[in-house]
Amino acid sequence: MKVALGVSGGIAAYKAAEVVRLLQDRGIRVQVIMTQGAQQFVRPLTFAALSGEKVITDMFAAGGDENSQPNIDSAIEHIAVAQSIDALLVVPATADILAKFAQGIANDFLTTLYLATTAPVVVAPAMNVNMWSHPATQANLELLRQRGVRIVAPGDGYLACGMTGPGRLAENDLIVAAAMEGLAASQELAGETVLITAGPTRERIDPVRYLTNRSSGRMGYALAEAALRRGARVLLVSGPTSLTPAGGAEVTRVESAEQMRQAVLKLLPEATIVIKTAAVADFRPQRAAEQKIKRKGAMSLELELTTDILAELAHSKRSQIIIGFAAETENVLENARKKLMSKSLDAIVVNDVSREGVGFDSDRNAVTIITHSEVIEVPETTKWEVAQRVLDQAVRLRKVPQAT
Ligand code: CTP
């Protein structure tokens, strides 16, 4: 197991030295990355001696010495490090680093690594009490929390600036415990291949028109990223969306329900878990017109049913855990339970799409996860959090496969 330990420029930087040792005591390799600011407080040599590894001190120095030209190996090292680590831990995390992480600013090795890695991220902030309670810092923390970053809250006490209050770096054992949690989470789906469908489908009416729905794909894309962070291989079959998939997901883009069906059936043998968030069209025009339909007068479209991909998967002989999603506007739980049975699923995640501000085309969601033995309410929260709860269930179902 390997942790990247980012050290940013605060007076608490020296405390990260002890964290290196505590992690090593647990058999974990530590790759230290120091920001320019951190090097004002502690010399890289301290961390190099403790970790037994070369300390990364800036974007271009990793592969060579000060006089050598940056080479391609060093310039892409952040990608190599990003892919090789099981967790990224930042001790101490300054207000500046939190702001850069939250806004996606990548102007040095540590901030670039943060964007490039799919491993769990743990930050231990330390700063002056006013900086900590400033709305800007709190808003950045909230954003990071929503995106799944674990935050080890600072303690209360006497601060180096002479003030007292929250801002003091958390105790080392709390920091190490959070890092261990991150590491455990990073392995939970190791060895699993999660097939996720996301977004809407488009059913052609003629060359310029189609039938579609309000799905944005956000739920499926959040699940893809969350599954990657838990160590899974992720196959994402996506209908048309404007979203960028998490790096590391193997993406197949499709348009129609039938294309989605073909892609899913092709990938199915590789999957161990299938999560179908896609809002697949239930109907499509019987025939797509070859030419643009002219505006001659009222017209009607003959629609036919698409194949229910989920039902087809579930009824075939299979070893995968299958989780469906259901959008309902009335009799929410009752209808979802019927779908769980009729599509012989292991779990169904139902959302009441009649509610304002959650579900379709929103960052937030409120769902109920129904398995054959449990009903789990997930009150309104971010889609990232919903993704975590759905994966918690996938992990449990995987351990104790349900009879369907
Ligand atoms: N689904 C599918 N193929 C379809 C339609 C739906 O695989 N042609 C999947 C969706 O991806 C979702 C689940 O079935 O995981 C439930 O979708 P939903 O639209 O809620 O249910 P339907 O079965 O279409 O039922 P109804 O529209 O009657 O509520």
Looking at the predicted structure, is the pLDDT value of residue 8 above 70? yes
User: What percent of the chain is modeled with pLDDT above 70?
Assistant: 94
Q: What is the mean pLDDT of residues 376-397?
A: 90
- Is there a contact between 57 and 39 (Cβ–Cβ < 8 Å)? yes
Q: Which one has a higher pLDDT value, 354 or 369?
A: 369
Burial (CB count <10 Å: 0-12, 13-18, 19+), residue 166 = middle
Does one domain contain both 225 and 159?
no
Q: What whole-number distance in Å separates Cα of residue 78 and Cα of residue 306?
A: 45
Q: Considering its fold, how many domains does the chain have in total? A: 2
Looking at the predicted structure, is the pLDDT value of residue 207 above 90? yes
Q: What is the CATH number of the domain that holds 65?
A: 3.40.50.1950
251, part of any domain = yes
- Which residues are 88's β-sheet partners? 4, 121
Does one domain contain both 315 and 213?
yes
Q: For residue 45, give the amino acid letter.
A: L
Looking at the predicted structure, is the pLDDT value of residue 67 above 80? no
Residues 6+ apart with CB under 8 A from 291: 206, 207
Does one domain contain both 222 and 146?
no
What local confidence, expressed as pLDDT, does residue 64 receive? 45
284, part of any domain = yes
What local confidence, expressed as pLDDT, does residue 138 receive? 97
Does one domain contain both 391 and 265?
yes
Does one domain contain both 232 and 312?
yes
Can you point out the beta strands (E) in 45-200? 87-93, 121-125, 150-151, 155-158, 164-168, 193-198
Ligand 1 geometric centre to CA of 200 (Å):
11
Q: What is the mean pLDDT of residues 12-27?
A: 96
CB of 276 shorter than 6 A to ligand 1 = yes
3-state SS class at 313:
helix
What local confidence, expressed as pLDDT, does residue 59 receive? 66
What local confidence, expressed as pLDDT, does residue 63 receive? 45
CB of 312 shorter than 6 A to ligand 1 = no
403, part of any domain = no
Indicate the top mutation candidate among 280, 304, 340 to test ligand 1's pocket, ranked by most ligand atoms within 8 A of CB: 280
Q: What whole-number distance in Å separates Cα of residue 120 and Cα of residue 165?
A: 29
Does one domain contain both 16 and 110?
yes
CB of 280 shorter than 6 A to ligand 1 = yes
What local confidence, expressed as pLDDT, does residue 73 receive? 57
3-state SS class at 108:
coil
Last residue within a domain, chosen from 133, 149, 183: 183
What local confidence, expressed as pLDDT, does residue 319 receive? 87
* pLDDT tens digits, 28-47: 999 999 999 999 999 999 99
- Which residues are 276's β-sheet partners? 197, 324
CB of 5 shorter than 6 A to ligand 1 = no
| Tokens describing residue 67 | 């006089």
**Nearest CA residue ID for atom 4, ligand 1:** 308
Ligand 1 geometric centre to CA of 153 (Å):
42
Across 15-19, 63-67, 288-292, least confident range: 63-67
Q: What is the mean pLDDT of residues 147-172?
A: 88
188, part of any domain = no
Q: What is the CATH number of the domain that holds 286?
A: 3.40.50.10300
What local confidence, expressed as pLDDT, does residue 35 receive? 97
Q: What whole-number distance in Å separates Cα of residue 346 and Cα of residue 368?
A: 14
Indicate the top mutation candidate among 196, 201, 276, 304 to test ligand 1's pocket, ranked by most ligand atoms within 8 A of CB: 276
What local confidence, expressed as pLDDT, does residue 355 receive? 75
Last residue within a domain, chosen from 154, 183, 212: 183
Q: What is the mean pLDDT of residues 142-167?
A: 87
Indicate the top mutation candidate among 259, 267, 310, 346 to test ligand 1's pocket, ranked by most ligand atoms within 8 A of CB: 310
3-state SS class at 369:
strand
By C-alpha distance, which of 373, 322, 329 is closest to 351? 329
Last residue within a domain, chosen from 160, 183, 206: 183
3-state SS class at 1:
coil
Q: What is the mean pLDDT of the chain?
A: 90
Ligand 1 geometric centre to CA of 357 (Å):
21
Does one domain contain both 98 and 139?
yes
Residues taking part in catalysis: 161
199, part of any domain = yes
* pLDDT tens digits, 227-286: 998 989 999 999 999 999 988 899 999 999 999 999 999 999 999 999 999 999 999 999
Q: Which domain does 170 fall in, by range?
A: 2-183
What local confidence, expressed as pLDDT, does residue 184 receive? 86
Does one domain contain both 207 and 315?
yes
Across 32-36, 156-160, 292-296, least confident range: 156-160
Does one domain contain both 174 and 198?
no
| Tokens describing residue 116 | 């490039």
The ligand 1 atom at the shortest distance from the C-alpha of residue 282 is 8
**Nearest CA residue ID for atom 12, ligand 1:** 325
Confidence of residue 358 (pLDDT cuts 50, 70, 90): low
404, part of any domain = no
Does one domain contain both 209 and 127?
no
Does one domain contain both 58 and 144?
yes
What local confidence, expressed as pLDDT, does residue 83 receive? 82
**Nearest CA residue ID for atom 9, ligand 1:** 310
50, part of any domain = yes
Residues 6+ apart with CB under 8 A from 208: 292
Does one domain contain both 144 and 258?
no
